[in-house]
Structure 1
Amino acid sequence: MIVNNSLPSHAECSNSLKNVLDALYVLNGKWKLALILYLMRSPKRFNEIQADVTGISAKILAKELKDLELNGFITRTVYSTTPVSIIYEATDYAHSLKSVLGELSAWGEHHREKIKESMRRGA
């Protein structure tokens, strides 16, 4: 219920929707936010990421990392060692999602509890 607040204008709603759709377009898919969150903790090699992020194939991981790099969320640094080492790291831009990810995590926890409660009542 809205009290003492005016409804947003059509233009405000349209702009807000456009912004959300733009964000979802860039962060779409099952893995992008998980990979950003994972790489915020520390830089990792490809094999470390694949071992720790369960359920992602090498092909999908490579595609998602490339997309994240193209959109400025991660950097890919190649070290000319033998064998070549490639390290992936979250950028400062990726860290700008920290509050969004925190809110999304809290909402996910709340939703999971709501579903559990709903199942207990239905059982």
Structure 2
Amino acid sequence: MTQPLDPELFANCGPARPPIRIGGKWTAKIVLCLADGPRRFTELEGVLAGITPKVLTESLRGMERDRLIVRTAYDEHPPRVEYELTALGRDLFEPMAVACAWTERFVRSATGDRG
């Protein structure tokens, strides 16, 4: 029989702010798109097949709120906006690589592939 959960389980996790949301469908893909430097909205939209402008905007805003990316608006005509990873966003590369490797092993074992 399992023990009841301790009500203080997350008491030492810092402020009551929600954790960084790195599990969204698009977050990891956006991080990879920004790996080589800043990108414009249309560049991201063009490579992220299936994402709507609304969802891309929401994803970028959430990532900015979580300090994974920084949005820079340039005072130019026409206006130019770029998105770039912060140091915190770049820190996601290692855990993402681990998660990808785990996923590949899981898929191979689930399909019986020994390769």
Alignment TM-score > 0.5, same fold: yes
Find the partner of 1:95 among 90, 93, 99.
90
Q: Which runs of 5+ in 2 are unaligned?
A: none
Percent identity reads 26
Quote the residue 1:53 is aligned against: 48
Q: Which runs of 5+ in 1 are unaligned?
A: 1-9, 119-123
Could you tell me the TM-score, scaled by structure 2's length?
0.76
- Structure whose CA Rg is larger: 1
5 Å matches for 1:1-123? 14=9, 23=19, 26-117=21-112
Q: Deviations over 1:52-99 (max 9, x none)?
A: 111111000000000100110001011122210100001111111121
User: Over the residues paired in the alignment, what is the CA RMSD in angstroms?
Assistant: 2.3
For this pair of structures, how many residues does the alignment match? 102
Q: Which runs of 4+ in 1 moved over 4 A?
A: none
Which structure is higher in helix share? 1
Secondary structure of 1:26's aligned partner: coil
In structure 2, distance between residues paired with 1:86 and 1:57: 18
